[in-house]
Amino acid sequence: MYVFGNLLIILAIISDSHLHTPTYYLLSNLSFVDICFNSASIPKTLVNIQIQSKVITYAGCISQMYFLTLFAGLDDLLLTGMVYDQFVAICHLLHYMVIMNSQLCVLLVLVSGIISALNSMLHSLMILWLSFCTHVEIPHFFSELNQVIHHACSDTFLNDMVIYFAVGLLEGCTLAGILYSYSKIVFSITGISSAQGKYKAFSTCASHLSVVSLFYCTMLGVYLSPAAMHNSQSSAAASVMYMVVTPMLNPFIYSLRNNDIK
């Protein structure tokens, strides 16, 4: 379902020249990342259910964790980029095409990829320094970073500090940018004289804000909440929300409520 919906968005944007705009360029990249994000965990989970086996190799666990962290970071940064795109479109409409030029869009995606890759590589390399028992049982449906670290036999203080610092810095900066952008957007919308114009702007922003809120709140809950760190059921439930539910909602929010995509 998530693959089909996001793939349709990518094909629609590629095939229609009217959709070759900054907004849809970022959306197509977000859809591609969502496909990769889910594909890094769900197929393995489905295979395990089918063959009634929950075994994953050490190398497979590290690889899965690397790609999941990579695509989660990309999702995070691309959602922030889309908020900035909305901010420019509403608050600086006359200068939109000048500000959101093709070079900036490519740079946003490129920088997002580099930051996510470095962040993911840092956590993966630090995992390699930890020692594990011969058989480790992780109470999760995928190799989640927090769960893997807290099942190590060696001291994980440095790993925990790096997670807090990386998540706090990355999520803190992007969240501050999102809140600032939306505060400016709301202020601009209140100045629109047409009631229909206000409704259309608020409707578009509310849909995107719902996805952003769901993604950020659940991810912050997984990585910064002490309860989620020590409660595998809470961690798994929150992970399902930002890993499965959000990518499935994106096609509906960005296509069914979008006349251009229709």
Output the pLDDT for position 111: 95
Choices 1.10.1740.10, 1.20.1070.10, 2.40.50.140, 3.20.20.70: CATH for 2-256: 1.20.1070.10
Q: Give percent of the chain with pLDDT exceeding 70.
A: 89
What pTM, to 2 d.p., does this model score? Answer: 0.86
pLDDT tens per residue, range 125-177: 999 888 887 777 777 777 888 878 888 888 888 988 998 888 888 888 888 88
Question: CA dist 110 to 102, 114, 117, 248, Å?
Answer: 12, 6, 11, 24
Mark out the alpha helices in the chain (DSSP H runs).
2-15, 22-39, 42-51, 58-91, 96-99, 102-128, 145-149, 157-190, 195-224, 226-230, 232-240, 246-251
Burial level of 147, CB count in 10 A (0-12/13-18/19+)?
Answer: buried
What residue type is 210 in one-letter code?
A: S
What residue type is 104 in one-letter code?
A: L
